Amino acid sequence: MNDADFQLIMAYSDGEAGPEGTARAEALLADSAEARAALARLRALDDRIKTSLDGVLNEPVPERLTRAATAKSPARGRLLRFPGRLGVAPSHWAMAASVVVALSAVLFWATSPEPDAEAMQRFVYQTLEQTPSGERRTDADRGWQVMPLASYETAEGRWCREYAGRVGADTLSGLACRVDGEEWQTLVSETHAVPEGYRPAAGPTDTVAAVLAGLQAGEPLTEAEEAARLRRAGQ
């Protein structure tokens, strides 16, 4: 199954394929066991995320978010730039590192203190290093919350993870990658407010998918494959 087929299956899983795309997706699913397995993994991930978020999505919307949603001129997304140089080798990484993504916000929780950028960077990277996709990790002292959404492996052996989280009154979403024995590198990261009732789609956004395609990342890792990556990272 090629990248275009995988994008079609993601759109079909999200109910966004349209009549023509739905027909093509169903034909592909009928003929391809690989496509059926990809659809099953996407739906399983979606179920895991929704189960984890059900509680927090029923909480009252923070007052500041209500004010922002009713304002005549909504505030623009605020970019969260982590410190430190990217230090990325040429080829696909140079292309991906130049992309700043306007990802849809994914989660909303109670407000928390404004983060220190370096501490937040460490917390995100520790979460990606230790936490399975669909599980939320919380910094009890600061109230930060981060949830890995999916893991990928590039053609060059890099481990990439899509994630979402909560930072103060803002939502965080992004993509980071690493090679065994090296530091994580943030390729995509943005924070902004979230409309009430929003739920994340199964699979990455179009822009994150484009970055992953540039890295030749292929399909999300299975739970077993991701667990093996997490064990390797902990050694």
**Contact in structure between 148 and 133 (CB atoms under 8 Å):** yes
Q: Is the pLDDT of residue 155 over 80?
A: yes
Q: Total domain count for the chain?
A: 1
Asked if residue 55 is part of any domain, the answer here is: no
Average pLDDT along the chain: 70
In a domain, 9, yes or no: no
32 in a structural domain: no
Buried b (16+ CB within 10 A) or exposed e, 91-116: ebbeebbeeebebbbbbbbebbeebe
- Residues facing 83 on adjacent strands: none
Compute the average pLDDT of residues 19-36. Answer: 90
Q: Is the pLDDT of residue 81 over 80?
A: no
Q: Is residue 33 part of a domain?
A: no
**Tens digits of per-residue pLDDT, 36-61?**
888 887 777 666 656 555 554 555 55
Banded pLDDT at 110 (limits 50, 70, 90): very low
For residue 156, what are the domain limits?
Answer: 64-234
Asked whether residue 126 carries a pLDDT value surpassing 90, the answer given is yes
Q: Is residue 36 part of a domain?
A: no
Q: Is 18 within the bounds of a domain?
A: no
Is pLDDT above 60 for 104? Answer: no
Q: Are strands 170-178 and 145-153 parallel, antiparallel or unpaired?
A: unpaired
The pLDDT tens digits for 195-204 are 444 444 445 5
Give tens-digit pLDDT for 160-178.
999 888 877 777 778 899 8
Q: 134 lies in a domain?
A: yes
19 belongs to a structural domain:
no
